[in-house]
């Protein structure tokens, strides 16, 4: 009974990234998460970054065989890199390329609809001309649909012709608890085309399945493509390039489309921000690895929307959801998103706990890297950890460096993610953006005043863990630790 | 205040931060409607995630005026409706196709379209959509629109305007065009026709609402109904539901203030585009403004059938380019403002520019519009500005300017071309047209003389400066032409041109001369009648006319102007030379000279003057040597010139263009075809001049009677040939008589023939080839005959390239004779004719009175005495018993010689008269004393012509009672005196028997004559006092012996002459006596020539 999460396009991948972090932080989902990336450009930097996160998440979670719902990493993520083989039953892939039916050398709509061949000489050719421009017909779609969802919708429709679609439909029909959630932007190409088509096709396939999704309204800008074309040789021949100057119009027009619930989706969460103040992405790329954009606070909110949707009682789905944040409260210049804006009961707590973990792991690795067994033995919270009923010694920790490294890497990317979330017009202001220990909470610097990690560790000490695994023990210990007000 | 994590909008209700809030559809709609979009947004809506996005976009957009692209979409729909409405004007084809897609569609694309289609376009599970497909030709089909259940129509993205979009540049632009800014007819149709039908149809409420919105796309547009007659159903929609809604306008016209207001009735007046002013946003057509500011260079090569930047098939003009020539042609001399329409210029008498107007201009305007529309201004030493005021439909004018420059080195365009700087080698044609009569009066061809080096080289006929002649409707006038010399060409034009177009091949430009027909005098209702007498003489020709029985007038082609009159009077001349130019400049002098040589003289007159050509005209014509075509003035010319330097150079002139010319003289007598042709052409040219003169005098050419005379000595064959010729020349309105009768008629007309007395009057009309004699007595004509004894016998002969002519020798050596001028004339007799023709009477008189003239006087006496002796023999047949007086009237050009030594035109020397009187008395055996009176006519040389046209009709009808005798005692056999035999009888005898004649020296008339003449002469004071002093004349017996001494040889020669005549003419042609005299006078010529 998994929760299928369709991450469509680059924005979808980043929203999913946020959702994975929330899962890592211990926000509980009562069903496994089944991410499905839908993008014609799977080398897209946003996707690869999220996939790596999922892979680390899974590595880490393997050390927690039976996690309690309060534990970090407690949500199972169903993800496999392996493709279907002829000898196995059809798997639902975590990655789907809607252009997979196309010859990579002919990655154009005209090729897909056989414009130059079967349609020529028929009136259908004129029908294609009526619905699509020449540029659209001949646009290279290998890196996505470049802000033209009418094209993407055609390719997306092809998903129903894939073998796994029948499998998915079967599972959804069979498992009424399953839900589907879609992350996509409304103003781009891939996401905007995938969102309504996938939702409609799922509803067509399994009308009882609850489908929700986040539609991201414009929240970032791109560099002016006309300027870029003047200087970048590689872009000069491009006839269609995403242009953020049309984002708002496209979004507004697309919203008109959703008014009529054409996609038959149960719940649409709309998120966006004052476009005038939105940040311009440093990278301008039509797709591919270069399209690797910073995380955004709104994507985190999108992840919360998914959680909200998954937590909602059946029968309590409304078509449109939006959210307010506190700021600007008194000072019009302050637009930060603060703890009370988090649409979840735990508010900022999971972030704080994860930030502490970040610090513990960082300190640990500093000593490991220096091979400082003496100081390692003095870390109090490690003293009662046991592996195979043996107390963990500094040397054991140094030897387990590899096992611990996936956690270290995830925590490092978390720190980067938090940093990026701070770097928006609407900053995520619930943690210090650098996760400084002395000033962990910027909005309440006195909260943990006087604490030092060496003091904190006493809070962990004495917790019984039963993982018989250093990493598992450490995560269990951290999950059980309670952060309280300062002394 | 908390904010929504949403784009800027106006008023969603406040809620608790940090909690998901559900929105109702209404709230959501409000939010969407109020979502703020920056004004600098790029409106390129592509975000609808459906292949039917375009249709759905239109659907949503028409619903609300607040929709982002509501106006654009409405404008697009109006664009389609307007294109359909005007599709014929736009010259496009539209077809309608309906596509139906089923659920079980196998085609992947169609299946997806079906799966993702809006329910509204499905009917019975079939997706149905109509396509409007447009094309200019079958290869460029494109979709204009699709049908939509929501918005009636929606347009493809492909049509959305982009730079360089040439299909519908005015339509499908980002800036919506409200109905009020569209063509008026279309506005009315939308409001009064289309909307009514749409409402009635009931299927498109959103569209009806949008079109009816008071602040919508149709706001403030015209609501008046459109005349139903100008609407037609769209054929291509007959099978479609759209057929009930859409219509087309039945027009190929546009409206605009800037439509040309043509003077000619053109179905479609073109649009005038003047890029000298900023066009952008100014009025264009059908209420539209220009979308861009076209530049001249850009428009220059654009298709004139489609409006620039538009898809409208409608003619337009760029007047600077289409109405003006690329170059301005300038003459060195002034153009003739009396004859030409020259536009406005500071001083029209000083205007030198050929009008730089194009053929296109005259598609719309007439020649008489030019004066008011065009002005030429020299704005600096090197710049000329030509301005054209072009009338447009709103009653106003567009003023177009084009500047032309001197010394524009690098460009062929906008140059002033000054060919005349090359002086006599100028390619610029100087044109003179004849006759200067209005076409209402002149129905014959017009002739143009063109001087100018218009050909690339002499041999090659490639023109550098071609000419076109056009009529009032600017249609080409048919013409034939002949290049006479390198720079001379004659055109025969079917009618009088209004336009003469001068082309410059090098610059591809033209200059225009417009002839103002109104400047020509029109003779109103010419209705007079006329009689014409034509004396086509051996050496000269005269034509006399009598109008409505008035006094006869010998043809003078003259304006009365003396001098080089190249300007206005006798030709339509396009260049107006000033007096100083006429005196000094080469071109006017060359034109003047060549006119007389190849065309027509600028003045014919009777007054001997260097600037005019005297009447009568020598009977000589020039014919092209290598042509089969003989056309008056084209291949044949009368050499009117007489005395200017360089004349008779046609051989040399023709040589440069490989043309040869043949002088044809002695036309009248020769039976050969070429001579006949030459005669005909000669007369044809004279008849042209004659007709012109008659018309000028108010004669109706249908009321003209032509009288022609021939010498009695003409053979029947020759007479028959001439009759045929005359019929061809003037039709059947000619009458013939003989020359001797004609002379008689003249003297009768003058009232000097004696009546009511028995006195005899003898008229001797001596011409170049024959002398025509008439013998009259009291209303009775005794005898009419001609004798081949005339000027040509008097002046001598040429044999073996030697000239035996003491007259020629004397004349050619006169200091006042410009012998070089005449050396090109073939034949010394022709030369002599011309020389005598060129000398004034005083010079001739002085010559006649000089000592060096004794021999000439002798031969003149011999000539006239022989003639009188022969007349005397003829008179023997007449009863002279009661005669008291004989009046001898000398007439004809030959009589000039008889009067020569008197120094007067109409008087003989008294001493010479005495000799003649004695000869006559010796010849005719009078019983009583008879007074012989001799006089010469005042109208010398013109008597026949006058007599022909003015003669008494009764007399004209009279026959002579006697026939000419052979005037010699001739034997065929012994004792068979034939001296009383008539010439006709003798001819018959000779023809039948063919025997050689015999003469008895003792009784021969020729011997008697010589005895008489030398005896009379020897006794005369004239001889004794003067002639005898000439060594050659001192021994008269010796001379007589030379003339008739060797009798046997003499008779042999006579037989030869008779045989030749019989052989050539079936007649001895003259009396035997005359034939004998032809032999002796030649002997005399030889003697005198050899004894100078």
Give pLDDT tens digits for B151-181. 999 999 888 876 555 668 888 887 899 999 9
* B39 touches A: beta carbon within 8 Å: no
Distance CA B674, CA A41 (A): 101
Residue A377 is predicted with a pLDDT of 82
Residue B642 is predicted with a pLDDT of 63
Residue B1077 is predicted with a pLDDT of 96
DSSP string, B894-963: THHHHHHTTTSSS---HHHHHHHHHHHHHHS--SS--EEEEEE-TTTT-HHHHHHHH--HHHHHPPPSB-
Residue with tokens 């927690």: A64
Strand A390-391 and strand A386-387: the pairing is antiparallel
Check whether B965 has a pLDDT greater than 50.
Answer: yes
Check whether B108 has a pLDDT greater than 90.
Answer: no
Interacting residues of B171 by C-beta distance below 8 A, sequence separation 6+: B76, B79, B82, B83, B159, B161
- Domain assignments of chain B as residue spans, ordered by start: 1-36, 53-249, 271-417, 734-855+868-957, 970-1090
Dihedral, B168, B172, B175, B177 alpha carbons, nearest 10 = 80
Let me know the angle formed at the C-alpha of A199 by A196 and A203, rounded to the nearest 5 degrees. Answer: 135
* B159 touches A: beta carbon within 8 Å: no
Nearest CA in chain B to A114: B109
Min Cα separation B17/chain A (Å): 5
Nearest CA in chain A to B67: A253
Distance CA A39, CA A45 (A): 12
Using a CB-CB cut-off of 8 Å, the residues of chain B touching A134 are 158
Alpha-carbon separation of residue B437 from B337, B445, B475, B499 (angstroms) = 17, 11, 21, 16
- For residue B21, give the nearest of A252, A273, A321 by CB distance: A321
Q: pLDDT by residue (tens digit) across A112-127?
A: 999 999 999 999 999 9
Residue with tokens 């080195």: B409
Using a CB-CB cut-off of 8 Å, the residues of chain B touching A150 are 46, 48-54
Percent of chain B at pLDDT > 70 equals: 95
Contact call for residues A259 and B32 (beta carbons, < 8 A): yes
Residue A270 is predicted with a pLDDT of 95
Contact call for residues A270 and B5 (beta carbons, < 8 A): no
Number of Cβ atoms within 10 Å of the Cβ of B580: 8
Taking only residues 16 to 35 of chain B, the set having a beta carbon closer than 8 angstroms to any beta carbon of chain A reads 16-25, 27-29, 31-32, 35
Residue A441 is predicted with a pLDDT of 47
The 3-state DSSP composition of chain B as helix, strand, coil percent (nearest 5) reads 35, 20, 45
- For residue B48, give the nearest of A126, A149, A328 by CB distance: A149
Check whether B412 has a pLDDT greater than 80.
Answer: no
Q: pLDDT by residue (tens digit) across B734-793?
A: 898 888 889 899 999 888 888 888 889 999 999 888 999 999 998 889 999 988 999 999
Strand B231-233 and strand B247-249: the pairing is antiparallel
Interacting residues of A158 by C-beta distance below 8 A, sequence separation 6+: A98, A101, B112
Reference B97, options A124, A120, A113; nearest CA is: A124
Of B616-620, B788-792, B895-899, give the range with the top mean pLDDT.
B788-792
- B988 CB-side CA count, 13 A: 6
Nearest CA in chain A to B41: A245
Interacting residues of B133 by C-beta distance below 8 A, sequence separation 6+: A126, B94, B95, B96, B97, B141, B142, B143, B144
Residue A446 is predicted with a pLDDT of 60
Mutation choice for B interface testing from A118, A122, A123, A131 by most B CBs within 10 A: A131
Q: What domains appear along chain A, each with residue ranges and CATH number?
A: 3-102+141-323 (3.40.50.1440), 349-480 (no CATH)
Min Cα separation A314/chain B (Å): 16
Tell if the CB–CB gap between B5 and A322 is shorter than 8 Å: yes
- The residues that bridge with B341 in the sheet, in sequence order, are B514
Using a CB-CB cut-off of 8 Å, the residues of chain A touching B53 are 131, 149-150, 153
Return the SS3 of B135: strand
Tell if the CB–CB gap between A126 and B113 is shorter than 8 Å: no
Q: pLDDT by residue (tens digit) across A426-450?
A: 888 888 778 876 555 445 556 555 5
DSSP H or E segment with residue B708: strand B699-710
ipTM passes above 0.90: yes
Tell if the CB–CB gap between B143 and A129 is shorter than 8 Å: yes
Average pLDDT (A200-229) is: 85
Residue B611 is predicted with a pLDDT of 66
* B116 touches A: beta carbon within 8 Å: yes
Tell if the CB–CB gap between B44 and A308 is shorter than 8 Å: no
Check whether B384 has a pLDDT greater than 90.
Answer: yes
Tell if the CB–CB gap between B99 and A124 is shorter than 8 Å: yes
Distance CA B351, CA B223 (A): 56
Residue A458 is predicted with a pLDDT of 45
Residue with tokens 């009923």: A389
Tell if the CB–CB gap between A249 and B141 is shorter than 8 Å: no
CATH fourth-level superfamily of B734-855+868-957:
ATPase, nucleotide binding domain (3.30.420.40)
Q: In this predicted structure, which of A281-290, B217-226, B275-284, B543-552 has the lowest mean pLDDT? A: A281-290
Alpha-carbon separation of residue B538 from B267, B711, B790, B892 (angstroms) = 62, 10, 10, 11
Contact call for residues B900 and B848 (beta carbons, < 8 A): yes
Contact call for residues A109 and A141 (beta carbons, < 8 A): yes
CB neighbour class for B139 (10 Å; exposed up to 12, middle 13-18, buried from 19): exposed
Residue with tokens 């109904």: B225
Using a CB-CB cut-off of 8 Å, the residues of chain B touching A192 are 47, 49
Taking only residues 51 to 90 of chain B, the set having a beta carbon closer than 8 angstroms to any beta carbon of chain A reads 51-57, 60, 67-69
Give the number of A-B residue pairs with CB atoms closer than 8 Å. Answer: 259
Give me B787's structure tokens. 């004798």
Q: In this predicted structure, which of B54-63, B98-107, B973-982 has the lowest mean pLDDT? A: B973-982
Give me B452's structure tokens. 């100018």
């Amino acid at each position: 009974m998994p929760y299928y999460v369709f991450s469509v396009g680059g924005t979808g991948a980043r929203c999913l990234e946020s959702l994975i972090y929330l899962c890592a932080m211990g926000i509980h989902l009562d069903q496994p998460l089944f991410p499905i990336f839908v993008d014609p450009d799977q080398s897209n930097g946003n996707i690869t970054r999220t996939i790596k996160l999922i892979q680390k998440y899974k590595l880490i979670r393997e050390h927690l065989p039976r996690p309690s719902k309060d534990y970090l990493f407690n949500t199972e993520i169903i993800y496999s890199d392996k493709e279907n083989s002829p000898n196995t039953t059809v798997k639902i892939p975590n990655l789907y390329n809607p252009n997979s039916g196309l010859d990579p050398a002919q990655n154009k709509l005209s090729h897909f609809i056989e414009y130059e061949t079967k349609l020529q000489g028929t009136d259908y050719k004129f029908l294609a001309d009526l619905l699509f421009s020449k540029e659209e017909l001949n646009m290279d779609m290998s890196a996505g649909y470049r802000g033209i969802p009418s094209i993407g919708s055609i390719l997306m429709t092809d998903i129903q012709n894939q073998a796994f679609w029948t499998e998915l439909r079967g599972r959804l029909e069979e498992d009424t608890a399953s839900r589907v959630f879609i992350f996509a932007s409304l103003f781009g190409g891939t996401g905007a085309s995938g969102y309504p088509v996938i939702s409609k096709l799922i509803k067509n396939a399994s009308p009882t399945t609850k489908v929700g999704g986040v539609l991201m309204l414009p929240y970032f800008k791109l560099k002016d493509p006309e300027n870029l074309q003047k200087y970048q040789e590689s872009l000069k021949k491009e006839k269609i390039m995403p242009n953020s100057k049309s984002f708002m119009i496209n979004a507004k027009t697309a919203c008109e489309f959703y008014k009529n619930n054409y996609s038959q989706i149960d719940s649409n969460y709309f998120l966006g921000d004052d476009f005038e103040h939105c940040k311009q992405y440093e990278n301008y790329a039509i797709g591919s690895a270069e399209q690797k954009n910073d995380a955004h606070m709104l994507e985190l909110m999108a992840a919360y929307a998914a959680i909200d949707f998954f937590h909602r009682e059946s029968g309590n789905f409304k078509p449109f959801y939006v959210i307010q944040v506190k700021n600007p409260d008194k000072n019009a210049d302050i637009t930060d998103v603060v703890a009370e804006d988090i649409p979840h009961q735990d508010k900022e707590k999971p972030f704080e706990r994860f930030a502490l973990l970040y610090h513990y792991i960082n300190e640990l690795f500093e000593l490991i890297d220096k091979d400082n067994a003496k100081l390692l033995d003095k870390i109090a919270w490690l003293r009662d950890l046991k592996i195979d009923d043996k107390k963990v010694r500094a040397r054991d920790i140094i030897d387990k460096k590899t096992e611990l490294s996936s956690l270290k890497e995830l925590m490092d990317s978390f720190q980067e993610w938090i940093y990026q979330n701070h770097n928006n017009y609407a900053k995520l202001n619930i943690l210090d953006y650098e996760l400084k220990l002395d000033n962990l909470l910027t909005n309440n610097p006195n909260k943990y005043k006087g604490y030092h990690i060496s003091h904190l560790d006493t809070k962990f000490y004495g917790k019984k863990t039963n993982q018989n695994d250093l990493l598992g023990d450490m995560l269990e210990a951290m999950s059980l630790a309670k952060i309280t007000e300062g002394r | 205040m908390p904010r929504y994590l949403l784009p800027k909008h106006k008023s969603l209700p406040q809620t608790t931060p940090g909690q998901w809030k559900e929105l109702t559809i209404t709230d959501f709609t409000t939010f969407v409607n109020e979502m703020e979009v920056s004004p600098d947004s790029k409106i390129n809506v592509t975000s609808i995630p459906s292949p039917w996005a375009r249709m759905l976009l239109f659907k949503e957009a028409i619903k609300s005026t607040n929709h982002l692209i509501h106006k654009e979409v409405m404008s697009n729909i109006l664009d389609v409706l307007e294109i359909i409405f005007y599709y014929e004007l736009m010259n496009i084809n539209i077809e309608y196709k309906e596509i139906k897609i089923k659920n079980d569609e196998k085609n992947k694309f169609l299946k997806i379209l079906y799966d993702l289609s809006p329910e509204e376009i499905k009917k019975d599970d079939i997706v149905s959509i109509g396509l409007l497909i447009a094309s200019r030709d079958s290869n460029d089909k494109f979709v204009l629109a699709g049908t939509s259940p929501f918005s009636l129509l929606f347009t493809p993205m492909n049509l959305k305007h982009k730079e360089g979009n040439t299909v519908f540049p005015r339509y499908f632009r980002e800036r919506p065009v409200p109905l009020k800014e569209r063509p008026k007819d279309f506005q009315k149709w939308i409001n009064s026709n289309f909307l009514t039908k749409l409402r009635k149809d009931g299927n498109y409420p959103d569209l009806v609402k949008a079109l009816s919105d008071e602040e919508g796309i149709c706001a403030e547009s015209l609501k008046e109904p459109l005349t139903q007659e100008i609407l037609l159903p769209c054929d291509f929609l007959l099978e479609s539901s759209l057929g009930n809604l859409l219509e087309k306008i039945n027009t190929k016209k546009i409206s605009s203030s800037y439509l040309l207001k043509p003077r000619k009735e053109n179905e479609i007046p073109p649009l005038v585009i003047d890029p000298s002013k900023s066009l952008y946003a100014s009025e264009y057509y059908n209420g539209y403004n220009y979308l861009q500011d076209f530049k001249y260079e850009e428009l220059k090569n654009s298709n004139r059938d489609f409006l620039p930047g538009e898809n409208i098939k409608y003619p337009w003009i760029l007047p600077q380019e289409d109405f003006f020539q690329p170059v301005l042609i300038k003459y060195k001399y002034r153009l003739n403002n009396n004859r030409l329409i020259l536009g406005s210029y500071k001083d029209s008498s000083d205007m030198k520019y050929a009008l730089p107007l194009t053929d296109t201009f005259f598609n719309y305007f007439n020649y008489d519009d030019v004066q008011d529309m065009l002005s030429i201004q020299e704005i600096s030493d090197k710049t000329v500005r030509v301005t054209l005021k072009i009338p447009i439909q709103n009653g106003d004018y567009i003023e177009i300017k084009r500047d032309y420059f001197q010394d524009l080195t690098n460009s062929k365009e906008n140059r002033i071309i000054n060919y005349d700087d090359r002086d006599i080698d100028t390619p610029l044609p100087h044109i003179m047209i004849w006759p200067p009569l209005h076409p209402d009066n002149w129905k014959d061809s017009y002739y143009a003389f063109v001087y100018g080096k218009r050909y690339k080289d002499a041999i090659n006929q490639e023109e550098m400066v071609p000419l076109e002649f056009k009529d009032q409707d600017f249609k080409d006038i048919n013409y034939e032409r002949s290049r006479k010399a390198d720079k001379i060409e004659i055109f025969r034009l079917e009618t009088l041109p209004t336009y003469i177009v001068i082309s410059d091949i090098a610059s591809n430009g033209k200059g225009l001369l417009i002839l103002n027909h109104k400047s020509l005098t029109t003779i109103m209702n010419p209705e007079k009648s006329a009689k014409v007498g034509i004396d086509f003489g051996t050496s000269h020709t005269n034509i006399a006319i009598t109008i409505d029985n008035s006094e006869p007038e010998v043809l003078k082609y003259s304006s009365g102007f003396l001098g080089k009159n190249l300007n206005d009077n006798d030709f339509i001349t396009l260049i107006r030379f000033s007096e100083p130019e006429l005196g000094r400049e080469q071109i006017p002098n060359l034109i003047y000279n060549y006119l007389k040589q190849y065309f027509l003289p600028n003045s014919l007159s009777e007054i001997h003057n260097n600037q005019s050509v005297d009447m009568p005209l020598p009977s000589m014509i020039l014919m092209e040597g290598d042509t089969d075509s003989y056309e008056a003035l084209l291949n044949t010319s009368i050499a009117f010139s007489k005395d200017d330097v360089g004349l008779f150079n046609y051989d040399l002139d023709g040589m440069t263009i490989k043309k040869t010319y043949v002088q044809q003289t002695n036309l009248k007598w020769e039976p050969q075809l070429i001579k006949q042709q030459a005669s005909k052409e000669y007369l044809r040219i004279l008849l042209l001049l004659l007709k012109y003169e008659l018309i000028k005098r108010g004669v109706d050419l249908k009321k003209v009677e032509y009288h022609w005379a021939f010498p009695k000595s003409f053979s029947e064959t020759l007479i028959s040939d001439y009759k045929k010729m005359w019929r061809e020349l003037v039709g059947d309105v000619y009458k013939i008589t003989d020359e001797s009768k004609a002379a008689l008629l003249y003297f009768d007309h003058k009232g000097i023939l004696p009546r009511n007395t028995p006195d005899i009057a003898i008229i001797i009309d001596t011409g170049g080839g024959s002398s025509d004699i008439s013998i009259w007595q009291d209303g009775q004509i005794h005898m009419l005959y001609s004798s081949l004894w005339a000027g040509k016998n008097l002046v001598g002969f040429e044999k073996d390239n030697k000239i035996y002519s003491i007259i020629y020798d004397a004349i050619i050596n006169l200091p006042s004779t410009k012998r070089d001028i005449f050396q090109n004339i073939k034949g010394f007799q022709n030369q002599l004719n011309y020389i005598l023709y060129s000398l004034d009477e005083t010079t001739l008189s002085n010559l006649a009175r000089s000592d060096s003239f004794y021999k000439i006087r002798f031969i003149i006496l011999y000539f006239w005495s022989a003639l009188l002796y022969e007349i005397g023999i003829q008179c023997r047949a007449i009863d002279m018993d009661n005669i008291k007086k004989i009046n001898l009237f000398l007439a004809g050009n030959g009589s000039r010689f008889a009067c020569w030594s008197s120094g007067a035109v109409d008087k003989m020397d008294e001493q010479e008269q005495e000799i003649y009187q004695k000869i006559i008395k010796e010849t005719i055996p009078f019983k009583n004393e008879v007074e012989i009176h001799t006089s010469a006519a005042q109208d010398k040389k013109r008597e026949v012509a006058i007599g022909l046209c003015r003669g008494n009709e009764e007399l004209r009808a009279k026959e002579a009672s006697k026939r000419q005798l052979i005037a010699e005692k001739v034997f065929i056999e012994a004792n068979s005196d034939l001296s009383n035999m008539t010439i006709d009888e003798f001819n018959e005898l000779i023809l039948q028997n063919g025997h050689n004649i015999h003469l008895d020296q003792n009784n021969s008339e020729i011997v008697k004559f010589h005895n008489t003449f030398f005896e009379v002469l020897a006794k005369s004071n004239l001889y004794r006092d003067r002639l005898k002093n000439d060594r050659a004349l001192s021994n008269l017996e010796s001379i007589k012996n030379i003339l008739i001494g060797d009798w046997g040889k003499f008779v042999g020669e006579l037989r030869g002459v008779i045989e030749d005549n019989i052989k050539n003419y079936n007649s001895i042609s003259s009396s035997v006596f005359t034939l004998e005299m032809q032999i002796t006078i030649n002997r005399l010529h030889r003697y005198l020539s050899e004894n100078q």
